Chains A and B, each alone.
Chain A
C-alpha cells in the first residue's frame, strides 16, 4: 500500500526521493526558488490539495502540505497547478509535466526566464513524483 498522495507523509517521502535523485540534483544545481503545487478538485478528489517544497541548489530543504485557506508569506515564487485528473495521469507516468504545461493541462506561474533556462530541472522535479509508491484518490 502506497502513501496517500498529497499528505504530510507523502510530501516527506517526496522530499526524501528528490534528495536521492541524482538526475534532479545535477540538473538543478543552480536552482533557487520554492515551488507550490496545487491539485484542483476533479472526479475522485473533492477538495483542493496544496503542498510546497523549498528548493535550493539541487536539494529540497523543507516542505509540507498547506491547510485550507492558508497563505504562505512570502508566497513561493513558482506555482504549478492543475486538475486532479491530469495529476493522476502524471503520477502514472502517462503525462509528461512539460508536455502537460505546453498543452495547458497544467499551469506554471513564476519567472519564466528562469524556468526556460531550467526546463530539465523542472521536468525532473515533477517527474520525481512518479518514483514514489503513491495511493491515489
Chain B
C-alpha cells in the first residue's frame, strides 16, 4: 500500500462531476485515509491556479499529493508538490528548473493517476504552466526537473473508458509526437528508443480501435501503456522543435496540447528528415517505419521515411484529426498577425535545443506557414 494518510487531490471539476474522482476517494475512505479535493485545474493551468492550490494544500498539510486527470491536472499536482515541499524557502515556479537538486518527498510523496492516454506526465520531469505577462500575453513555461517525477504512477485504463473521441484522438497524437520526436532527439538513448518504438507499435495497433470504440478495454489498456512508455521515452531523450512550436500554438491560439503537437508533427519530421548536414534522423525514422511494418525492409531511406509521414497523415484522417493549422480554426490573418510572437515563443522553448536540425527564425516561420496550408516541407 502507498504510505500516507492525508491526501490532497488535485484535479478538475469535470472529473469530479463525472464521478471519476469518487472512484479514488471511495478507495481512500476504504483505507481510512483523510482527503481534500482541489478541483479548479483548467486546461493549460495558469500560475495563479497553481498558487491557489498550493495555498489550500499548505493549509491542509498532507503527506500525499494525488494528481488525477489529464496532463494539466498531473502537471498542476507536480507543481503544487514542489511549492508545498519548499514552502519555507518561499520558492516560485521559476525555481523549478532543471539545474538544481530539489530534495523532494520530505513533507509529502506524489501520486499521479492519468485519466487520458497521452501526456505521460505521470512518469516525466516536465511541468508546463501558463503565465500571463503584464501586457496580458500568455506563454507556456516549461519547468523540468527530475526530482518532480511523481513518486508513484497508477496507470489504470478504467479511468480512460469514458474519454470523449476528440480527446482520445488528441491525446493519442500526443503519444505519437512524444515517441516520434523522442526517437530523433539529440539526447536519445538505447533505453529511450526502446520505449518510443514500443509505444509507437502499440499506437499503430490500438489507436484507431480505442477511437472507434471507447469501451474496447484492451485498446484502452494498450493506449494507456503506450502513453506511459512514450513518457518514459521522451522523458529521457526529450522532445524537439514540434513541441516548441506546439507550445507556442497553445499559448497564442489556445489549441489543446495534443492537437497542437499532433498537427505539427508531420511537418517538423519532414523538416528534420531533410537535414542537409546529418542523416541520422532520416535513418532513424526510416528504420522505425520498417520496424513498424509501414515500409518494406528493402525500401530506401527516402521511401521508408515517406511511408512514416504517410502513416501519420492517414492516421489523422482515421481519427478525424486536423491536418493543417487552418483546420484547427486558425485564420491566415491571425497566423500572420501572431507570427512574430509564435516564432519568439518557439525560440524560448527549451525543447528546441534538442532538435536534430536547427531552425532560424525565418525557417520556423516557413514551417508554420506550410503547416497552415498543408504543404509538404520541401526545404
Please report A residues at the B interface, Cβ cutoff 8 Å: 22-23, 26-27, 96, 98-99, 101-102, 104, 107-108, 112-113, 115-120, 123
Contacts and interface: CB of A to CB of B under 8 A. Distances in A.
A99 B187 contact: yes
A117 B348 contact: yes
Nearest to B187: A99
Interface stretch (B93-101, B112-120, B208-216, B277-285): B93-101
B142 A116 contact: yes
A108 B99 CA distance: 7
Interface stretch (B58-66, B291-299, B353-361): B353-361
Contacts of B142: 116
Contact of A116 (B94, B146, B186): B94
Nearest to B355: A120
Nearest to A99: B187
Given A26-B360, A101-B99, A116 B141 contact: yes
A102 B98 CA distance: 6
A117 B137 CA distance: 15
Interface in B323-370: 347-350, 352-353, 358, 360-361
A120 B353 contact: yes
A119 B353 contact: yes
Contacts of B99: 101-102, 107-108, 112, 115
Contacts of B98: 101-102
Contacts of A119: 348-350, 352-353
Interface residues of B, number: 22
A108 B98 CA distance: 11
11 contacts: A23-B360, A26-B360, A99-B187, A102-B98, A104-B101, A112-B94, A116-B94, A116-B141, A116-B350, A117-B348, A119-B353
B352 A116 contact: no
Nearest to A106: B99
B143 interface: yes
B102 to A, nearest CB: 12
Contact of A98 (B347, B353, B358): B353
A119 B143 CA distance: 12
Contacts of A123: 353
Contact of B97 (A22, A107, A112): A112
Nearest to A116: B97
A115 B146 CA distance: 18
Given A104-B101, A113-B94, A118 B353 contact: no
Contacts of B187: 96, 99
B190 to A, nearest CB: 16
A22 B362 CA distance: 13
Contacts of A120: 347-348, 350, 352-353
A96 B101 CA distance: 19
Contacts of A22: 360
A116 B143 contact: yes
A96 B356 CA distance: 13
A113 B186 CA distance: 24
A48 to B, nearest CB: 21
Given A26-B361, A96-B186, A120-B353, A112 B95 contact: yes
A117 B350 CA distance: 8
Nearest to A23: B358
A101 B348 CA distance: 18
B98 to A, nearest CB: 5
A98 B99 CA distance: 9
A115 B141 CA distance: 12
Contacts of A116: 94, 97, 141-143, 350
A18 B377 CA distance: 31
Contacts of A26: 347, 360-361
